[in-house]
Structures are given as structure tokens and as C-alpha cells.
Structure 1
Amino acid sequence: MKFRLYLETDLNRVFTKSLGAIAAAELDVILTHCLMASETKISPVEEGRTSFLDFDFDGERDALVEQLGRLSATAAAFAVHAPSSLEPLPLREQLAFGTEVVTAQRYRGKTSERLTRLMLNVASAADTSKAVDDRSVLDPMCGRGTTLNWALLYGARATGLDLDRRALDDYATFLEQWAKINRYPHKMRRYKKQNTECRHFDFTVAADRAVLAGKTVPDIRTFHAPAHSGAVAVGRHAMIVSDLPYGIQHQARSDSNRKPTPIGDLVENVAALWPSRIRTGGSVALSWNTKTLRASDLSALLERAGFDTVGTRGFEHQVDRSISRDVLLARRSNRI
């Protein structure tokens, strides 16, 4: 059967030209890995200021509707019975809280909200760890928590590491303010600066006090530590999702001068730890600047660390003259 997916108009100029191709790539991953569709043809179409995707799907319709509601650029979806006969599909986002927890923060260098949601979607689709009751996400370079906030909305536990204490402080303050403004019962525990576990804060939130009382682990846990630190006990997760630095500003070695390290060295150092931080069959979704690291080199680094690259294409898009961004999807293999 034929379906049509209308896409949200993006005010961000970065996605304006590439919206159709990126949305088609995301839909392809969802159809292939979540709905087990084989060789589905997806056609991006533009008519005036409207962008949409036409595609065929012969599987279970309810399962398709559930997945379409989660896509990062979905505005509306229809079953196509004839060229002029469209049946609206009842899409539901099924988010735990309002999206303002993702959109309210504004600061220079913030990771794209739409791209982050896309990465979580494709990572979830590729995850075969069978952790249905424990959909946990690790962001080893979390900054002020865009990835962690989307994980919270999806009902997944989220863990983040970052070297920037001020960013983590600002993030903790934002979460408390957001919960208070929306009157969500919550708990925030901030740790002392010199605790041996490098913990920074634990945050737990719920729609009502009864649900909050029943939670035994925090929804969001952060550590003030470099991504490559093996001393931090972050546990094992179903997914690792991160927006890698676009330049060379992140440190990859624990030297006292904190000299910047090329992105390839950073990935090599942190990926060596990931097999111990992700379950077998768990997925990795990374966005990065292809002008600083080729896709083939990034794939090779992950494969040496024990991950198999999952075939994806169509995510690359130009951000500005010096940044061309792409998304790579991989899965922890059984050979380690």
C-alpha cells in the first residue's frame, strides 16, 4: 500500500535544502530495522514550499503508524488510496513530557534538536540487545544534555559524561527550573566536586508523586569526567548516541595541559571503552564533521573496537563552509 509522509518545515537553514533526503534516510532505517520491510522505495517530493515522502509498505499498519509518529520531521501522514484520495493516519508522539525540555535551552554550539532526535530514532531501530525494559542511553560527550533530554522524553534512562563542569552545572540548574515551572515532582542530587566516582548530579522526575516514589534509579545521571575515562562506572547501556566535536577542541588524553587532540584520536581512545559500556547487540549513533574525519576512517575505528557498521546513507548535509555533517550507525558485534 502507498503512504505519504508530510514533513515539518524547518526554520533552520541547515536542514532546509537537505530535509527530504535526511528524512528519507531516517525512514529507511526505521522501515528496514523496526518494521522489517525489504527494499522499500522512498521518494522525496517537493511541491512549492511543501516537502513530503511517498513510499510503499505492506506490513502491519498499526506498527507503521506508531513509528511514523516518532520520526524527527513528521508533520502528518496519510494512506494514499488514489492520487486525490488521502486518508489521514492518527499519529501519536507518546512522549513522557513536553518538548520544551529540549527546546527551551539556547546557547552557542547547541546540538541540533532535530538531528539528536533522529540519531536516537535510528539507534533505537538498530538496537538488537533486547533490552525492552531497560532502554538506556549513554552520551560520552553530553554537554548540556540535548541527547539526555530526548532520552528522558522517550522514557529511557540517560547517562552523560563531560569535561565541562560549567556546562553540567548549567544543565542541572535548567532541569530543576524546568521541573519547578511545570510542577513536576522531582529529585535533584548534586555531588561534591571531589567525589571519587566523578558523579556530578542525579535527576529523577515524574508526572506525579506516586510514580516518582516508585523510581529506584535516576532518569538522568551525569559524570564530570572525560569521555575516555575508564575509572567512571557508567554501567552497560542499550545505546550510545553522541554528537562528536566538529573541530579539535575536545581532549582525548588525560594530560595536565589538556591539549586538543584530533577527532580520530579522540574516537579511537573512547571507542576502546565502549564494548564494556554497551550490551551485545547494542547500537551506536554518531554525528560528526566529515571534513575532519572520513566516513571510512570512522567506520574502521569502530570496527577495530568491536562494532559492525550498519549500512546507512543519505544523512550527510552541509552545515557551513567548514562543516559537512553525517551520521554513522553501528552495532556491538558478537565477536568480542
Structure 2
Amino acid sequence: MSEYLVLLAASANRVYADAAPRLARAEAQAVLAGTGGPVQVGVEQLAGVDYLHVTTESPAAIAALSNLSATFAIFQPEGELLRPIPLQRRQFYPSDLVTIQKYQGKTNGQWTRLLLNVTATATKRPERWLSGELDVMDPMCGRGTTLNIALLAGYDTIGVDLDRKDYDTYAAFLKTWVQTHRLKHTMDRGASTTGGRARGREFTLEVGPTKEAFKAGETHRVRYLNTDTCDLDGLVRAASVDVIVTDTPYGVQHGSHGDRLSRRPLELIDRALPSWMRTLRTGGAIGLSYNRHVAATDDLALVLQQHDLTVQDALLDEFRHRVDASIDRDLIVAVKS
């Protein structure tokens, strides 16, 4: 068994920072269980600083711990001393891709990364999380927090949202960002049509971390569909996505388009799941972040089960935390058999 101490990164969000050690522990437990080998994870204080104390036989331990949402540094204890371990972080682009956008209702980036990590390692092919062979979709992507985190880690990603302002704002941001960093890229924008029927708008960004990588075809793609998430037939290829992750409408600032849907997220998810399921590969997983005040866990689990998804019961309640008085946030993960 190998032993590691993981120093957690500071969170700019005070409320999230209070819950971070507990959430990081649950994330590490889930991720390491998915990547193989028995694991024990606890929270330990050294000189007044919180660390994750991890004991595991997983051969992918260092890579997995390097890519946790809150990892700042990894050490191995040697007596009273700590030996630093080089991180094996999947990061292909500058981190300001995630941090530079500021707007009301933006989801905490650490939480989005945690949701993606836990969902990816719940699939039947959890090794794809670390190999980069992961196709990610956020079917209610807003201004692209999930898309940015997936791109940063080198995954191909698809975003869907009906809000024209979010689409335009994100397209402009991404174009400016790649130009500012002088990244070799192509960006195609146009109408989405199938069978002569207008379905909305879309853009596709293809970018490489270096000029040499772009020339060699070692690129990553972001595709954004400005269309109805409940009607993706013909727009997203069937069985082409490994992981679907999204923030469901919170019923507050994070509401969907129109007050009716923002206050009834279960109805929206129930209507959208047939469309999402057609895009998901067998063995793929869906991870939903949700507000318990507007969607009870049992009710959400029932909706997922009614669409032939297997809810991962071991993850229930492990990630629950308070965002503010109106948002009691949690996540739920389910796998397509």
C-alpha cells in the first residue's frame, strides 16, 4: 500500500471552502475506487493545514490524485518530512480559460471539475478519464464552464443551450481567448439544419496547445449547439458521448429559460433524457448537479431509473453542501447499461 498526503487548493468561494475538505475526500474515494485498487481516504491536519491522507494500491493513484478538483500538491510522508511528488495533471491550456469569465450565476469551477471527475470514473471505461479518450457533453451549458474545464483537460466536448445571449457571449469569449493566447485554431460558425429544417445555430472550435500539435492534428474540439436540448436527433451522433454532465436548473439565478422550467427541473430532465440517452454510449454516465430545494433526491433518482439508467447509490449524499440559503446543492450519477 502506498501513502500520500494531498494539499488542497484554496477556494475563492468562502462557503465552498468550508466544505472543500469533505468534498475532496468523497471525490478521492470515488475516483480511486473507479480507477482500481482498495483505498482509504481521510482528512488530516498538519501544522494547522488540511491534507487528504490517502492509502491505496491503485496503480493510477498519482495520476488520479493529480487531477482531483482541489489538488494543489501531493507529498509522500517520510518520517516527519514530506517528499513532493510531481503532478501528472491533464492541463493543455492556460488556466485562465476557466477563471477569467465573471458573471452572475457562474458555477464554481472546482465543483464542475469534481462533477466531471466523479461521473467519468463511474463509467464502464474509467481509464478514459486519464487517457484523454473522453467525449463530454453538457446539454444545458450556459456560458461554458463545463466546456472550458473539459477543453483544459484535453477532452472533446459538446455544449447545448437555447439561450441566444449565452451562445453569443461564449462564442465571443472563446474566440478572443484563443487569439489572446495566440493559439493555432479554426472556428466555424453557421446554422444547424437537418433535412432542410432550421434547428438553430452552432460553432465548432478546433484548437491545438502548440503550433506543432495543431499541424500534427493533435487538436481538441469544442462544439456549441444553440438549440433545444430536448431535440438533438440528427445534430449529435448517436452513441458518441461518454459522459454527460450539467447543472440542472436551481430555481434561483441558475434557472432555465423561462420561469416555468426553472421551478420545475424534474419536468425538464424527464423531457430531455430521451434525447440525451440517444447520444450516450452504453456504459456511459450522466452526472447532474441539482438543488435539493427544488428537486428531491428520491424524485430525481426515480426519473433517471425510469429512463433505464442505474443510479450509483454509493455516491448519494456524499457531496451535499450548502451554497446559500436558497441552494442546497448535491450531485447524482447514473450509468447507461
Q: Residue 40 of structure 2 contacts residue 56 of structure 2 at CA under 8 Å; is this kept in 1?
A: no
- Cα distance in 1, alignment partners of residues 280 and 111 from structure 2: 22
Corresponding letter in the other structure for 1:80: P
Match of 2:332 in 1: 328
Shift of 1:279: 0.1
Q: CA deviation at 1:209?
A: 4.0
CA distance in 2, matches of 1:259, 1:73: 35
Q: Which residue of structure 2 aligns with residue 317 of structure 1? A: 321
Map of 1:78 onto structure 2: 75
From the two aligned structures, give the one with the greater strand fraction: 2
The amino acid of 1:320's aligned partner reads D
Alpha carbons of structure 1 residues 318 and 204: separation in structure 2 relative to 1, 3 Å: same
Match of 1:245 in 2: 249
Alignment of 1:185 with 2:192, yes or no, is no
Q: Match for 1:105 among 94, 101, 106?
A: 101
Assess if the C-alpha contact under 8 Å between 2:185 and 2:206 holds in 1. Answer: yes
Between the two proteins, what is the percent identity of the paired residues? Answer: 31
Determine helix, strand or coil for the equivalent of 2:160.
strand
Residue deviations 1:13-51, cap 9 Å, x none?
A: 1212111110001001111001x233x332123457521
Q: What is the TM-score of this pair, normalised by structure 2?
A: 0.88
Native 8 Å contact 2:233 2:275 kept in 1:
no
The 5 Å alignment of 1:111-190 reads: 111-129=107-125, 134-190=133-189
Distance (Å, rounded) in 1 between the aligned partners of 2:259 and 2:190 = 24
Q: Any idea what SS the aligned residue of 1:42 has? A: strand
- The residue identity in structure 2 corresponding to 1:148 is L
- Whether 1:58 aligns to 2:54 is no
Q: How does 1:172-321 map to 2 (within 5 A)?
A: 172-192=171-191, 196-213=198-215, 215=217, 219-231=221-233, 233-235=235-237, 236-247=240-251, 249-250=255-256, 259-260=260-261, 262-310=264-312, 311-312=314-315, 313-321=317-325
Q: Distance in 1 between matches of 2:27 and 2:267?
A: 28
1:89 to 2:77 alignment: no
In 2: Cα distance, 1:209 partner to 1:4 partner: 37
Instruction: State the Cα distance separating 1:217 from its structure 2 match.
Output: 8.8
Counterparts of 1:246 and 1:258, CA distance in 2: 11
Q: CA deviation at 1:72?
A: 0.7
The Cα of 1:7 is off from its aligned counterpart by: 0.8
Q: CA deviation at 1:80?
A: 2.4
Q: Deviations over 1:42-100 (max 9, x none)?
A: 2123457521111211343xx21111111111111122243x13222111323111111
**Cα deviations by residue, 1:176-234 (Å, 9 ceiling, x for unpaired):** 11111110011111214887243321111113445335549970111111221244521
Q: Which residue of 2 aligns with 1:6?
A: 7
Root-mean-square deviation (Å)? 2.4
Structure 2: 5+ residue runs without aligned partners?
Answer: none
CA contact (8 A) 1:275 1:306 kept: no
Following TM superposition, by how much is the alpha carbon of 1:2 offset from its aligned partner in structure 2, in angstroms?
2.6
User: Is the Cα contact below 8 Å between 1:129 and 1:279 reproduced in 2?
Assistant: no
Q: Corresponding residue for 1:26? A: 27
Distance in structure 2 (CA, Å) of the matches to 1:198 and 1:216: 29
Aligned residues: 323
CA distance in 1, matches of 2:279, 2:155: 16
Distance across 2 between alignment mates of 1:238 and 1:189: 24
Give the SS at the match of 1:189: strand
Give the distance between the partners of 1:79 and 1:218, measured in 2 at CA. 34
Deviations 1:132-177 (A, max 9, x none): 6741111000011110111111211111110111111110111111
